[in-house]
Amino acid sequence: LAGWRAPVEAPLTLDYHGYTVCKTGPWGQGPAFLQQLALLSGYDLAGMDPGGAEFIHLVTEASKLAFADREAWYGDPDFTDVPLAELLSPGYSDERRALIGEAASGELRPGSPGGREPRLPAFARAPSSPGTHRGSGDPGIDPTTGEPLNRGVAAEAARGDTCHLDVVDRWGNMVAATPSGGWLQSSPVIPALGFPLGTRAQMFTVEPGLPASIAPGKRPRTTLTPTLALRDGEPALAFGTPGGDQQDQWSLHVFLRHVHHGMNLQQAVDFPAFHSSHAPSSFYPRTARPRRLDVEERVGEQVVEALRARGHDVSVQAPWSLGRVSAVARRGGVLYAAANPRGMQGYAAGR
């Protein structure tokens, strides 16, 4: 700890429909956001209903492919050679996009960037099922069932979660930050040390030789993933969310609605949310639910049935229960902000 210094690193970027989207390197899950964009760039998303079964199916299947690569390839780039150029290349995206069909996939399918052979950790090859273990470091997951906790406003406020904030000043300087390292309910203080071990360290694997294998001085592949987006080289958007593995799904959906469907930031945040639990959780006990798709009830019964007909294991959640996204923007010298109303935890303020 005494020898540690926070580094300043260049972001990983991808150009998408007039925006340059900036994410963390592969020590976070940020590249998964960019991989999803690269996969989805091959479709006419603007011509789809953002609340329809076709859109939800397509985005979900792209997410499954990106998160499978996360499990096989992401880790601290100071310790492992992560093939980022190949993972984000048009050719690789074309190859992966061909795997998206009309039916929901039940497989975890990492790719072979640059001809490399993917190697999944043991927990991804044989993931746990809900209810088989107790204990979780994710405050959004029930430790016994592995289910998301959607228990009402009072319970949400008392339970707490990861924090996220976005700030923009009059000159257009922007910050997106997700400062979260642990919770005392899952990371109690060790008396002999006087501090808790970081909750994010459970995202290492003890299996040797993998990008996310534990090692001294190595950063765990976290779920923390704030986002900045530029237009014409100038800061335009800053956004993010709590939510563990859902962070780069919920944020993606808000961004897509804003870019492709003309929604302002608040409309995009408020729109009915969904996410996949197909890939193994980053948190103990690494629960996976192949084909599982959570959707807010507001998508409507017709959409739910259409998704089930495509093979998704649809779990209908409360109308305002999924997502925690907040965002700020600057356009033409005017500042904008949006806050998530779910759980009454998010706020937008200006002066």
Q: How far apart are CA 103 and CA 98, in angstroms?
A: 13
Dmax of the chain from CA atoms?
59
| Structure confidence at residue 134 (pLDDT) | 42
**What three-state secondary structure class fits 174?**
strand
Task: Give the tens place of pLDDT for each residue, 148-198.
Answer: 555 444 444 445 678 899 999 999 999 999 987 666 666 778 889 888 777
- pLDDT of res. 147: 56
What strands lie across the sheet with 234-240, from one edge to the other? 12-16, 19-23, 227-231, 234-240, 326-331, 334-338
Q: What is the pLDDT of residues 85-109, one digit of tens each?
A: 999 999 999 999 999 999 999 999 9
Residue with tokens 């492919």: 65
What residue spans of the chain are helical by DSSP H?
30-40, 53-73, 84-87, 90-97, 122-125, 153-159, 247-260, 265-270, 301-309
Reported as half-sphere exposure (CB side, CA atoms, 13 A), residue 183 has a value of 15
Q: What pLDDT shows up at residue 160?
A: 63
- pLDDT reported for residue 246: 95
Identify the pLDDT of residue 78: 94
Question: Are β-strands 292-296 and 313-317 bridged in parallel, bridged antiparallel, or unpaired?
Answer: parallel
Contacts of 95 by beta carbon, 8 Å cutoff, 6+ apart: 111
State residue 81's pLDDT score. 94
- The whole-angstrom separation of Cα 200 and Cα 204 is 8
How many Å apart are CA 229 and CA 223, to the nearest integer?
19
Per-10-residue mean pLDDT, the chain, length 351: 87 98 96 98 97 98 98 96 97 98 97 96 80 48 53 48 91 92 71 82 91 93 95 96 95 98 98 97 90 98 98 97 96 94 91 86
Contacts of 65 (CB under 8 A, 6+ apart): 35, 39, 96, 99, 100, 109, 111
pLDDT at 344: 85
Residue 157 near residue 139, CB atoms below 8 Å: no
How confident is the model at residue 145, as a pLDDT? 52
Task: Strand 292-296: give its sheet, edge to edge.
Answer: 274-276, 292-296, 313-317
Residues β-bridged to residue 196: none
Instruction: Tell me the DSSP string of 255-272.
Output: HHHHHHS---HHHHHHSP
pTM assigned to the model: 0.91
Q: Check residue 4 and give its pLDDT.
A: 82
Contacts with 90 (C-beta within 8 Å, 6 or more apart), sequence order? 38
Identity of residue 207: E
Query: Both tokens of residue 189?
Result: 């203080």
- The whole-angstrom distance between residue 305's C-alpha and the CA centroid of its chain comes to 25
